[in-house]
Structure 1
């Protein structure tokens, strides 16, 4: 069977399980061939299908995410190593980096903090955007921090990135982080405990980075009130939310003395809340 024939068959096999069956099959086939996807499509479609593809496809048919199978995912034009210890970076989260780019168009942040850094995607994308900035990523998972540190080395950003094992639910977690920070990034857990999730997420991605109580708001209620003490006077905190959580999360910020502005992702959904110190006297 040729590569083209096997791809058609694999797409049919993946159809009921994946809305991106053809793309998944092509990415796995390219990996089995040791080629890029573009090389696969341009040069290898008539080649015999490699045996290595079958094991990769079998994993995808068991709902394992393609990014974990391949060990990498793209975010903001950068390639990140990912393991089941970290969430897979998603395009929706790029909204935070776009918002940072817009907010700091006239001046760059000097110090950046990433709360719940995971793979390091947000912090390292921001550091790539602001070449004079230094950043700190915190996470309560040592396994996640190892992935993030490896990505910093791989991307040549290690001299400007530090990673610390910290949990914002524990007293003293902000000590010795090097603040205050001009830019704070956070993609905290925000999924409701009983939310129906696709098996590809529910059965494989780390639950500690996904679920946050019956309303999905527990992490915000703990983290956001601590942001003012971490922010520089003109600092900005960009916090990712679920697309139905804008009003609730904004209210948590206002109660902490922060002004809130909503940024939308490419699908037009509420995705990022930009928090700044409210000097209007009407937080």
Structure 2
């Protein structure tokens, strides 16, 4: 067995106590410290050594620190993003919002995109990468998050099509927008948490006693922001379809739920009511 294989096996055994994906975590951490992609690591492991600094990264993961914060990188949709503790870690579940948008705009691409609570810029930048003719605006209340989003736009050569602005949801934002992407806080204040979320910004996670506070504000703002034929893709918790759908329906909007890869309700596709 090679030194790399032995080290990965030992790290995997250690990380089983803190992670549901210990082998993947070990591979990502070792690839990071070697300056390689995970694929390159696996292909070349017979020719590689293990830097001493790898043990320090494993210790950080054992303390509960998310892999994405240790490596500073997270892949999302078709792009790779820089992430820091200023932003939520983009997750595959959130790609359901982009999938819903792709389905809605199968016949015509969106031109104007709004991302409320942009964080790292994941949703907005994924949309701009998907539709090269689109332009977008990302809003966030956190200056630190906006700094990360702007850096990601520059890294992806999308700064000329992506603007970022500090703000409190859509206050002061003028539409209309063809596509609105929203991943708001939706965890109830007293919900028990574990894993990576313990290290993520609390303001991006919690939304009052029921997890609905921010949806209530967003529902009031959406009707004036959506263009004719437009849609909003809104992320929800797995048990929030009925409660959040009712908030949008009360504003005269049409709502359709979409499920993530695990089969959980994850996205509401919200559209203006059909014309009579």
TM range (shorter): over 0.9
Aligned equivalents of 1:75 and 1:182: distance in 2? Answer: 22
Cα contact 1:188–1:240 (8 A) shared by 2: yes
Say if 2:217 is the partner of 1:216: no
Aligned equivalents of 2:110 and 2:39: distance in 1? Answer: 37
Report what 2:243 is aligned to. Answer: 248
Q: TM-score, normalised by structure 2?
A: 0.96
Any idea what SS the aligned residue of 1:263 has?
strand
Report what 1:235 is aligned to. Answer: 230
Cα contact 1:4–1:46 (8 A) shared by 2: no
Report what 2:24 is aligned to. Answer: 23
Report what 1:258 is aligned to. Answer: 253
- How far off its partner does 1:55 sit? 1.2
Report what 2:186 is aligned to. Answer: 190
Say if 2:153 is the partner of 1:152: yes
Segments of 5+ residues of structure 2 without an aligned counterpart are: none
- How far off its partner does 1:257 sit? 1.2
Say if 2:265 is the partner of 1:274: no
Q: Provide runs of 4+ in structure 1 moved above 3 Å.
A: 45-48
- How far off its partner does 1:178 sit? 5.1
Report what 2:68 is aligned to. Answer: 67
Aligned equivalents of 1:42 and 1:232: distance in 2? Answer: 49
Report what 1:52 is aligned to. Answer: 53
Say if 2:140 is the partner of 1:114: no
Cα contact 1:137–1:162 (8 A) shared by 2: yes
Any idea what SS the aligned residue of 2:263 has?
coil
Any idea what SS the aligned residue of 2:160 has?
helix
CA deviation map 1:60-92 (0-9, x unaligned): 011000000000100002100000000000001
- How far off its partner does 1:46 sit? 5.9
- How far off its partner does 1:200 sit? 2.3
Any idea what SS the aligned residue of 1:162 has?
strand
Structure 1 residues 2-151: aligned runs within 5 Å: 2-45=3-46, 47-151=48-152
Any idea what SS the aligned residue of 1:159 has?
coil
Aligned equivalents of 2:42 and 2:23: distance in 1? Answer: 12
Cα contact 1:2–1:46 (8 A) shared by 2: no
Matched length? 275
Any idea what SS the aligned residue of 2:113 has?
strand
Q: TM-score, normalised by structure 1?
A: 0.94
Aligned equivalents of 2:49 and 2:179: distance in 1? Answer: 51
Any idea what SS the aligned residue of 1:137 has?
strand
- How far off its partner does 1:280 sit? 6.6
**What CA RMSD, in Å, does the superposition of the two structures yield over aligned residues?**
1.4
- How far off its partner does 1:4 sit? 1.2
Aligned equivalents of 2:192 and 2:145: distance in 1? Answer: 25
- How far off its partner does 1:45 sit? 4.1
Cα contact 2:175–2:224 (8 A) shared by 1: no
